[in-house]
Amino acid sequence: MSIEEYKRIRNKKISRYSLQNMLKCLEDPEHPSAGPYLSFMNLTGNWHPNMELKSTRFKQMVYYITMTFFFSQYLKCVIGLDLSALLFILQTAPFHLGTPKTILFRKDYHLWEKMIDYMSRTELRQLSDEDEEVIDVMDEYIRKSRRAIYLYWFMAICCNISIFTEPYQKNQTVENGTDIYVPLFQFYVPFNQDVPPGYYYSMVLQTILGNIMSYYIVAWDSLVMSTFIFFAGQLKISRVYCTKVIDPESEERSHENIIKCHRFHTSIIEHQKLFQKLISSVMFIYLIVISINLGSCIIQISNASGDLPAMMAAMIFVFAILVQLLILYWFSNEVTVESLSVSSGILESKWITMDAKIQKEVALLQLTTSKRLFFKAGPCNEMSLDTFVAILKTSYSFFTLLKGTK
């Protein structure tokens, strides 16, 4: 089956007015599953296969300008030893996660290229093999990826609207007639941003750069989510290969199938370790920051009982970061679940009809494919639903502790 035929079959399964059909302009035939997310990363400049383009150079310039302004905020916090500035950064911590995400992505750019190249080569090879069962599995996990991540994009847009309009709702006039203007970030700018018109100039700058940083975060998250879904889908395909590993008519073909199945599963394990290396540091920072941020947001909600707009904004923010973390941990957990079911596919093959030599090879294959795969956030925190529940419990404990010290 050619790529064109595959796309034609997919389009038949997708409703004409569905979100997938409307966004199919983002699809890339060279990257069946990662295409839209690479297009988005290319839009932000983080994915830059061709550095000679003027547009790419402009995006790199925008990136360095954005990082400069965000780092100016960190320097103001450190140099001034201002605790309130640190607390202000913690309140908007999910935005600042874009800094380590983009920096580490660019640092390991050649490894990400290797990872994405493996994903695309694997999928294109499977399409060329014309195995309908495999193509059905691939089509299922690609459509699942599209639904989950396009929904995540919509949630991110709603969250951005809430966050970027919140400062204006907090602006107020105190008893002595002084006007208080609340900023979104505390960038260093060469003019007074505490009062108009400097405040509004600063807010325009903060809104533009804040949205750019948000795009960096969403692009990184989208690529990571799609890669989790890719691994879960390929483990399903590995199980399909295991069910077909025995050819009762030919011992030689059975031997070749066992070798191919072993190599395929070994390549999944190898690149799962590579992906683990790429995301471990970021997810560890993510884990710490989100846990602290959840507790502080819950405190804000409890203290803002009389301020409906502030309470609603805090609730939307809590919901957004919880969903963001849940999606990542959910799909990571799916990889673990699928890895435990691969070896059972061998039991569905006709291995019992073969001689002792082939049965020994099947036993070795079953041992290889029974390896439990999982991802870790940092050195010891496994990315699973159990860990996510533990984060919620820790955040609640943090909330009760702070509540009890009032």
Domain spans in the chain, listed from the N-terminal domain onward: 3-404
Residue 17's pLDDT band (boundaries 50, 70, 90)? very low
Cβ atoms within 10 Å of 229's Cβ, excluding its own: 21
Choose between 14 and 105: higher pLDDT: 105
8 A C-beta contact, residue 246 and residue 349: yes
The pLDDT of residue 45 is 87
Taking only the tens place, the pLDDT of each residue in 99-133 is: 889 999 999 999 999 999 999 999 999 999 888 99
The pLDDT of residue 378 is 82
Query: Pick from 243, 224, 214: which is nearest to 37 by CA?
Result: 224
- The pTM of the full predicted model, rounded to 2 decimals, is 0.87
φ and ψ of 296, to 5 deg:
-65, -35
Q: On the CB side of 2, how many CA atoms lie within 13 Å of its CA? A: 3
The pLDDT of residue 126 is 93
3-state helix/strand/coil string of the chain = CCHHHHHHHHHHHCCCCCHHHHCHHHCECCECCCHHHHHHHHHHCCCCCCCCCHHHHHHHHHHHHHHHHHHHHHHHHHHHCCHHHHHHHHHCHHHHCHHHHHHHHHHCHHHHHHHHHHHHHHHHHHHHHCCHHHHHHHHHHHHHHHHHHHHHHHHHHHHHHHHHHHHHHHCEECCCCCEECCCCCCCCCCCCCCCCCHHHHHHHHHHHHHHHHHHHHHHHHHHHHHHHHHHHHHHHHHHHHHHCCCCCCCHHHHHHHHHHHHHHHHHHHHHHHHHHHHHHHHHHHHHHHHHHHHHHHHHHHHHCCCCHHHHHHHHHHHHHHHHHHHHHHHHHHHHHHHHCCCCHHHHCCCHHHCCHHHHHHHHHHHHHHCCCCCCEECCCEECCHHHHHHHHHHHHHHHHHHHHCC
Taking only the tens place, the pLDDT of each residue in 142-185 is: 999 999 998 888 888 887 887 787 777 777 666 566 677 777 78
pLDDT > 70: percent of the chain: 82
8 A C-beta contact, residue 123 and residue 138: yes
